[in-house]
Structure 1
């Protein structure tokens, strides 16, 4: 076993937020599930990561009960489930120790959000010397309000603002930033094959 699949933050917390209505990839669970199935068939390690913000009372606070994998994603025995409080999956977890103990040098990254926890994890992993594959179509993100936009607007106003950065632009910028420097860009079909009937 030389490779691990990192499934980052595909958790119920996101479904509890108004921005879920504008998610870039409504099929995120199905696409990540295909990667998980392919990884298990190859004998790769699958590592599950959940984002937590204890004491905030928001959907990422464990007391809300939403810090759990979305339905349809189920760890098998022996697959680590880690919780983090930082954007990347290394800083506040034992991920690097787990990977080192198992001799893993290659990582496949999928999850939520494309340009935040997924991209940040890929960058840190690249700096740590891992060979990273970033599966863009198995990530998801949301439109980003302009930095000067007033706080507290309702989400319909965010979406209507022409200064809001759309998901297509976010994904494109992430791929430009990662490709050839921190990661190889790939698709679910590249790693898991085409689904039957496709």
Structure 2
């Protein structure tokens, strides 16, 4: 549930939690029931609660693809946070149209205004929007952490496979990468190069 930020208790730590694309759009996809963690919103909620308690800035990012008629088209009403997540008063909610959360939003300006020097990322999809945002944040000079078990992704089809196959064929294809493999690849790619890789328990102490 959302909480109200009382006057004088807003972000003041130089830290920010960036929640990326944890939105209803994914629940509309056939592939989501095969995701690594269809209930990832509950893991994210733990990070949000911890960030608010520590007076860290919480920034919500949603992905939109206007005019496409897909689950990411705002006209269809699915470009909204997954329950039980909700932005508290004063928490920015940004909408992006690029893979990373910086290029098509004012995220960097917001972080600068709040004196943020360290960010933690989480969300959907691990190897796509979350990883891309994490890499760019590191290149921009932020001390960056990815909460790896507060990310989720879906099976990743072979890019050379025919498009438009029934999803059963995608799942049966031995060249399709299982979500656990995709997440492990992100862990290997980011750790020690672009980010500290941590778990929710390590970050919150519970």
Compute the TM-score of the two structures, normalised by the length of structure 1. Answer: 0.97
Tell me, in whole angstroms, the C-alpha distance in 2 between the residues paired with 1:193 and 1:154. Answer: 43
SS across alignment from 2:202: helix
Deviation at 1:192, TM superposition (A): 1.5
* Residue in structure 1 matched with residue 53 of structure 2 by the alignment: 41
Of residues 182, 185, 188, the one that matches 1:170 is 182
* Residue in structure 1 matched with residue 98 of structure 2 by the alignment: 86
Q: Which consecutive unaligned segments of at least 5 residues does structure 2 have?
A: 1-12
Q: Extract structure 1 runs of 4+ deviating beyond 4 A.
A: none
Tell me, in whole angstroms, the C-alpha distance in 1 between the residues paired with 2:140 and 2:86. Answer: 28
Tell me, in whole angstroms, the C-alpha distance in 2 between the residues paired with 1:183 and 1:108. Answer: 9
Tell me, in whole angstroms, the C-alpha distance in 1 between the residues paired with 2:38 and 2:104. Answer: 28
* Residue in structure 2 matched with residue 61 of structure 1 by the alignment: 73
For the aligned residues, what is the CA RMSD?
A: 0.6
Deviation at 1:154, TM superposition (A): 1.3
Deviation at 1:167, TM superposition (A): 1.0
Tell me, in whole angstroms, the C-alpha distance in 2 between the residues paired with 1:176 and 1:137. Answer: 14
Q: Which consecutive unaligned segments of at least 5 residues does structure 1 have?
A: none
* Residue in structure 1 matched with residue 133 of structure 2 by the alignment: 121
* Residue in structure 2 matched with residue 2 of structure 1 by the alignment: 14
Deviation at 1:193, TM superposition (A): 2.0
Deviation at 1:113, TM superposition (A): 0.2
Deviation at 1:27, TM superposition (A): 2.6
* Residue in structure 2 matched with residue 140 of structure 1 by the alignment: 152
Tell me, in whole angstroms, the C-alpha distance in 1 between the residues paired with 2:114 and 2:134. Answer: 19
Mapped pair 1:12 → 2:12: no
Aligned length: 194
Deviation at 1:106, TM superposition (A): 0.3
Deviation at 1:73, TM superposition (A): 0.2
Deviation at 1:13, TM superposition (A): 0.3
Tell me, in whole angstroms, the C-alpha distance in 2 between the residues paired with 1:136 and 1:65. Answer: 28
